[in-house]
């Protein structure tokens, strides 16, 4: 007989019993996180044995809140956003039993950081144009190519990697998806300095990198379908994260308005009210999206959430600089730092303004996301694509 998924009351009971048996103040961080994963209280909507209990995804926030109130150690999701938001759901959807067993537990517990080897110098918005080659080699593959804009590559243990395995077929059909060991011989990570003065992302060079076939996710030539799952989860993770009212950037600027009367003006008041309403609408839309994801994988709706997030972050950070006047032009740190997380709320206004410029590029450019929303959400006619049926090797490079 199939057991019904636990409801909110049952999850609260399980969390209470777990905390009674594992005192956060007396249990080591790693031991505590391992036990929480094994109890199915890591990501509750995952299957039993893989950190979850098959519960509705919407109950995750309540479980996390109960652990936070008890002072439980965190798995530092801000350091492993790619692993938690992109690699894990892709491994769950396409991984073998052995892959799920190997990767999911250390990923959730924060023991292994992940990065994403997708974009290339000639294949950013058009990911299917990528040229990094994976060639069969004995019981595995040899990979050569270059990736770019790779966040956290300098700290990552593993990467999700999309390659070209068959150049003789159209670009969407000749791709294969792998898990890549970032410590393997031939993997070189170089920092890319950005407008903030920091280097949170990188370019990665792959030279004769050996990947065993057991680290392939999905079938040979099925990389585009696997990558689409990753990208849909990425956009939900970026634009549809759970958040209380007036959190994030709008909370920062609303707090500035309340605390410093001298920055207020009638014109700015109207702008702030508009952005507050739009932020709240985006937050509630994201909440509804997460409630719809009680089963299955995200669809194209996540692209709309990410599109709204980028637009709002840029407008709100611009308003903050206008309110601050000359003070908003100061920037506090031009050193070549290698941050382990992106933090909008605890940094300076200058940082927020500059860093927000990347929001409309990372995780899919706003232009591409508008196409996805138009075609796959609104059902409008698709953009004409003359290269759709042309073998990749015959495309202009």
pLDDT in tens, 44-75: 999 999 999 999 888 898 999 999 999 999 99
Per-residue pLDDT, averaged over 16-42, amounts to 97
257 and 352 in a single domain? The answer is yes
Q: From the CB of residue 241, how many other CB atoms can be counted at a distance below 10 Å?
A: 17
- Pick the more confident residue, 269 or 335: 269
Confidence class for position 131, pLDDT limits 50, 70, 90? very high
Task: Say what the pLDDT of residue 357 is.
Answer: 92
Percent of all residues in the chain with a pLDDT value above 70, rounded to a whole number: 93
Q: Please, are residues 115 and 81 in contact by the beta-carbon 8 Å criterion?
A: no
Q: Which domain holds residue 144?
A: 114-222
Domain co-membership, 201 together with 315: no
270-277, long-range: CB < 8 A, 24+ apart: 271/319, 272/319, 275/250, 275/312, 275/315, 275/316, 275/319, 276/246, 276/250
Residue 120 lies in a domain: yes
- Site of tokens 């590559």: 153
Q: Quick one: which of 352, 358, 320, 351 has its CA closest to 335?
A: 351
CB 163 within 8 A of CB 133: yes
The answer to whether 173 and 224 are in contact (CB under 8 A) is: yes
Of 184-193, 288-297, 333-342, the range with the lowest mean pLDDT is 288-297
386 within domain boundaries: no
What percent of the chain is predicted at pLDDT more than 90?
Answer: 67
Q: Alpha helix (H) ranges present in 262-348? A: 266-292, 301-324
| CATH number for position 145 | 2.40.110.10
Last residue of a domain, one of 204, 222, 240: 222
* pLDDT tens for each residue of 264-292: 988 899 999 999 999 999 888 877 776 66
Angle between helices 266-292 and 248-259 (to 10 degrees): 150
Catalytic-role residue among 198, 234, 301, 320: 234
Check: CB of residue 187 under 8 Å from CB of residue 180: yes
Q: Examine the domain organization and report whether 251 and 335 are in the same domain.
A: yes
234 assigned to active site: yes
Question: Could you tell me if 83 and 133 lie in one domain?
Answer: no
Using pLDDT thresholds of 50, 70 and 90, give the confidence band for residue 39.
very high
Look at residue 396 and tell me whether its pLDDT is greater than 50. yes
Model pLDDT, residue 312? 96
Kindly report the CATH number assigned to the domain that includes residue 302.
Answer: 1.20.140.10
Cβ-based burial of 390 (10 A; exposed 0-12, middle 13-18, buried ≥19): middle
Give the range with max mean pLDDT: 3-7, 91-95, 241-245, 346-350: 91-95
């Amino acid at each position: 007989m199939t057991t019904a998924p636990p409801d909110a009351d049952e999850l609260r009971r399980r969390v209470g019993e777990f905390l009674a048996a594992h005192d956060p103040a007396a249990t080591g961080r790693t031991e505590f996180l391992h036990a929480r994963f094994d109890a199915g209280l890591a990501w509750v909507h995952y299957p039993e044995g893989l950190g979850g209990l098959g519960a509705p995804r919407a109950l995750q926030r309540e479980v996390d809140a109960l652990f936070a109130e008890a002072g439980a150690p965190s798995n530092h999701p801000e350091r492993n956003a790619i692993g938690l938001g992109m690699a894990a759901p892709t491994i769950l959807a396409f991984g073998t039993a052995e892959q799920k067993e190997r990767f999911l537990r250390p990923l959730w517990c924060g023991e292994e950081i992940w990065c994403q080897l997708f974009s290339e110098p000639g294949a950013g918005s058009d990911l299917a144009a990528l040229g990094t080659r994976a060639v069969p080699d004995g019981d595995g593959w040899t990979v050569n190519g270059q990736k770019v804009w790779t966040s956290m590559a300098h700290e990552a243990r593993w990467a999700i990697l999309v390659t070209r395995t068959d150049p003789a077929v159209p670009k969407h059909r000749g791709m294969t998806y792998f898990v890549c060991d970032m410590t393997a011989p031939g993997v070189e990570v170089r920092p890319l300095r950005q407008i903030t003065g920091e280097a949170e992302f990188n370019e990665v060079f792959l030279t004769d990198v050996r990947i065993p076939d057991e680290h392939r996710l999905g079938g040979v030539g099925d990389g585009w379908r696997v990558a689409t799952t990753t990208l849909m989860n990425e956009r939900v993770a970026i634009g549809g994260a759970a958040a209380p009212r007036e959190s994030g950037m709008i909370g920062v600027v609303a707090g500035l308005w309340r605390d410093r009367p001298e920055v207020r003006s009638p014109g700015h008041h109207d702008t702030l009210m508009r952005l507050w309403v739009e932020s709240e609408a985006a937050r509630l839309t994201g909440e509804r999206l997460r409630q719809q994801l009680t089963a299955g994988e995200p669809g194209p709706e996540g692209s709309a959430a990410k599109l709204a997030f980028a637009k709002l972050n840029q407008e709100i950070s611009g308003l903050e600089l206008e309110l601050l006047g000359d003070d908003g032009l100061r920037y506090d740190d031009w050193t070549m730092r290698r941050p382990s997380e992106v933090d909008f709320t605890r940094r300076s206004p200058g940082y927020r303004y500059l860093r927000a410029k990347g929001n409309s590029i990372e995780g899919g450019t706003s232009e591409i996301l508008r196409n996805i929303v138009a075609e796959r959400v609104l059902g409008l006619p698709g953009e004409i694509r003359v290269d759709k049926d042309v073998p990749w090797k015959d495309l202009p490079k």
